[in-house]
Chain A
């Protein structure tokens, strides 16, 4: 499904980023980083309305020839970015939304871990890792 999943802190540094191993990791890093432009834009455009409506899903950030980049922002302004292969037309908005929701839940679990410092990179959460893996495994 997803080819790259990233969790980005409020200050825009990556808390977690993983891409499918077959592809060049660097490319996705650049892509996710650049997509933050649109995330910022969408957040500031939505402004208060976003908070009120509790709509955390930002939708398609920008399409590229080969990939679609989707965004999601939590109430604490932590961003989730997911890159999906463009050829994977089976993925509709609803599936993306539910994937984000799953990601958010899993991220909340990580935050609930008393040994995790908010703001640290997510490195040692097996549950989170396997959840991300499950989201990426269904490719092809």
Chain B
């Protein structure tokens, strides 16, 4: 470092600047200490606390120590900071009071006075002590005295201004300690001085800035002042702060320019608005560009000069701060804003000059950055620099275009003049780059020198830019540069090189659906392809452009004409076909079949209507439009057809093609939608689910490899399908917009036809749609003739005429006149022949073709129906009336079962049978003319009625009731109900019914009652036959008389033998029965007749012409109203004599109060065990079977009209001892016992002492 003796250079504008510290006093002493001092001072950082709330910083201090001179002290008003001495130090080694008094004190005083004169307060006095010196002199004072003296003399209040440094050159701990204290003191003092002096400077600077609105204010002056501050910060290694100063200046200047643009021009700004004469670009290789700085200082700088200088300083500082990428970013901003500022300030710039400046600056910045970074760093930060690269490329391109370097012929004289002017503005190359081969200056000069050199440099730059964009994934930017390059190649008449860039760009735009760029690029591509002579590609691009709505009408016509003229030119040379995709020429909108279900029989005519939207701007004459059809034979032809019929009825036969979102859907939208279906796989054995999943039915479409080649633009190599089946349409003129095309075909072979490929021929040009999507198919079928017979209603009713529909589907058979259907009659079914039967013939599409009279001839065996003549694939429909005889085969067993009236018997059975009608089937065999086999048809008829009967008694009088239930949905009229017993003549059946016809609604019943009267002894059984006439109530007169409905049944044991009478009497002396008190039950059983045929069984016993029979009675109260006290049953011997009466007395107790029904009294026939011939068998079964089976046994023996009792058998059987031969009980048939007290009730009043009232709520 500088020795103190050296003269101080006036201003040092290098980075070697350090804050200045002056040294006075003993120079030799300082010289000896200096090396240690300069080494130790920056070793430890010191915290610098700062004003205005700025964050404190750790700072390593360094200083430039110079010898104290009075000239160094700044004069009043001098604002220079760099040359400002921040601290003054006085060094002394004095340890002798005498010496001190003699010389040192005076010297110090003088020094202090100079400082005071300049109002400098930052000083320090250092007293160095040396042990060696002390030893030499004996009469020395203690060390402290000198220091004290100095403190006393000079530092009246600030004793710390005097510092002691002991043995500085020794290596002892004391020395170390003393050094540390001294250094800390020194650093603190320096920082205090910085704070104070910089603060004062900043204040002054701010004051100056506030004056900027005053007229005489100059930006350049202010610039110099603030830059001074920046220099100091830079000197203190505070680059961040230094950068802030420049940024502030930058912003201030920008604001002025903006204000200028807004009309608020400052005077000083006019200096900057001088015309630009030099455009030599940024200079970043020197830390400070002194030339430019001087220009600013002299107020002669242009905007470009100022900007260049400012940026070079910012660049330097940013590079110190290790932020090269910010340099690149700021550079781009700067270049852009400079261009804007020049425009705003209306500075006159020669054309191209700015381009040169920007180009040079870009390259300068890039080279500067490259100079301070390694390759890897640069590669990973391309994103920051690529902007500059492409900007430079752009500028070079515009220079090339400006100077005629891109044209085929090269620059003309005017261009050459311009080049010379531009080169002149560059000036001479700067010395610092003179030796660099690739300096921006040399590059530009060379590029402008010749067409070839320009091309080389331009291609270099372009490729570099493309490569960089691509490497960081900015494909769109790369494409844009590529397009510029393509334009360049087109200008240079080398379309073969341009094509790849255009294709690439177009592919990118297509993929992302940007219509305008697509159109523009296509136009360029069309030109390129035309030059290259790629006929197919050119025609395709032309067709795309002709259909593009973003192109002007004239251009569309032009491109359309290109295709048409090509087509007409090439007609003479057949064979060569140009295949182009259809979608750019025309689009299918919809397709419509006639017949609309797209199913046609063999020989039928099918027409296909297609709406095709021509995209061409003019009408185009088309020689032929052909649709290739793929034919496949379906195995199950008919079923397929039926399926189609149902499936297509709704869609109305119109198939809409998805409109391609013209002209360019995003690539993702091109894919068809996922078609997902659920899939279940069940095990064949037990139908349990094995696997389930989802199937994508169109995976082959979705997973198709995305063509990496640009298939959208190049002909996709569609092979023209040739096939036997083609739908054709010749000589059509397609108008712009929608056109309707009709194709007709006659169906030949049965099978499925799939429309595959559509091809439009214009001369040798074929526009081909390779696949029609969605799938379009039509089916041709051949059908066997068929006869169907079905009832008109849901079910046929027996007994009344019913309509049956005959449908003859002719299929491929043609019905001739004279063809007839031969029906072999079933016995119980009549076919009613009316005078007029009409048949309707329908065409295949259910359209009515004709209506003809039908002839039906009936013999007793065969009914013959003559069919009307009908062509193939038609339908003949007619209706016939049939009548099934109503009651002929009423299945006997079933009916009697249903007929049994069993109040408690088997409710299940009756309920089950209650709703459904009995049915009968009739089979008819029909011979059809088209077949040698007969068709057998079964018709099922339902009986509309169900009939039940019951026997009713009143004492000895008997009644028969017949119930007819209408089960059908129809209403019927019933008349002439009649009941006869053909067997016995002495029996009389007196009807109690209304004579008029009875109306029975659906699900209603009608009851008929007859009284049974007899003169002599009645027979044990009756055989009855019930018949009733019926007719549907709704219809008027029927054409044929209907057979009455009949029902037969038997009634047995209907004569009443016993009358049972029960009576409950209150206890004697009371008026009413009371709960809990015993009452007497009197039962009297009276024989009503003498000996009858029915009485002759095992129970009858005879003695002296006197017959008696054994009966068992039983009193049961099922409702638990009564408690029977004592024996509730008993066997009595009943004399078989009329009016013989047996009385039984019993005690019963009412359990409840109220009107109580009497307990039941039941009678059974008591059959002794020994007398039966079947007793052994019965006894066996009795033993083996449990009581329930006994029940059954009893049931079986009962006939249909008898009432049986279950409970009594139980009690009787359970009381018997099993295993012994036992007497049998047989319930008396219901008709034989009449209970004359049935339904009577007895009033029971509650007992008085009954405090508990039991209420049961059920």
Contacts and interface: CB of A to CB of B under 8 A. Distances in A.
Interface string A55-69: 000000011110000
Given A34-B477, A41-B473, A12 B516 contact: no
Interface residues of B, number: 31
A63 B333 contact: yes
Contact of A65 (B339, B344, B480): B339
Interface string B309-335: 000000000000000000000001101
Interface string B246-266: 000000000000100100000
A87 B340 contact: yes
A67 to B, nearest CB: 10
Interface stretch (A25-33, A97-105, A128-136): A25-33
Nearest to A29: B516
Contacts of B332: 63
A33 B383 contact: no
B512 A13 contact: yes
B491 interface: no
A33 B387 contact: no
Interface in B499-538: 509, 512-517, 520
A63 B472 CA distance: 18
Nearest to B383: A41
Contacts of B340: 65, 86-87
B244 interface: no
A37 interface: yes
Interface string B439-476: 00000000000000000000000000000010011111
Nearest to A45: B383
Contact of A14 (B337, B339, B344, B514): B514
B514 A9 contact: no
Most buried by A among B340, B387, B472, B480: B340
B480 A11 contact: no
A40 B475 CA distance: 11
B696 to A, nearest CB: 22
Contacts of B685: none
B261 A87 contact: yes
Given A12-B512, A87-B343, A89-B261, A37 B476 contact: yes
Contact of A13 (B261, B474, B475, B514): B514
Given A12-B666, A25-B516, A63-B332, A30 B339 contact: no
A36 interface: yes
Given A41-B473, A62-B387, A87-B344, A13 B336 contact: no
B210 to A, nearest CB: 24
B668 interface: yes
B1181 to A, nearest CB: 84
Contacts, number: 64
B666 A30 contact: no
A63 B1120 CA distance: 108
Contact of A63 (B336, B512, B513): B336
Contact of B517 (A9, A29, A89): A29
Interface in A68-98: 86-87, 89
Contacts of A26: 516-517, 520
Interface string B475-506: 11100100000000000000000000000000
B473 A37 contact: yes
A25 B519 CA distance: 12
A26 B387 CA distance: 22
A64 B258 contact: no
B666 A34 contact: no
A104 B258 CA distance: 30
A13 B513 contact: yes
Contacts of B513: 11-14
A70 to B, nearest CB: 15
Nearest to B387: A62
Contacts of B343: 87
Nearest to A119: B669
A41 B332 CA distance: 19
Interface string A1-27: 000000001011110000000000110
Contacts of A9: 666
Contacts of A34: 476-477, 480
B520 A86 contact: no
Contacts of B477: 34, 37
Nearest to B667: A11
A109 B336 CA distance: 37
A37 B474 contact: yes
Q: Which 5 interchain pairs have the tightest Cβ spacing?
A: A13-B513, A37-B474, A29-B516, A13-B666, A12-B512
23 contacts: A9-B666, A11-B512, A11-B513, A11-B668, A12-B513, A13-B513, A13-B514, A13-B666, A25-B516, A33-B509, A33-B512, A34-B476, A34-B477, A34-B480, A36-B476, A36-B512, A40-B473, A41-B473, A41-B474, A64-B336, A65-B339, A89-B258, A89-B261
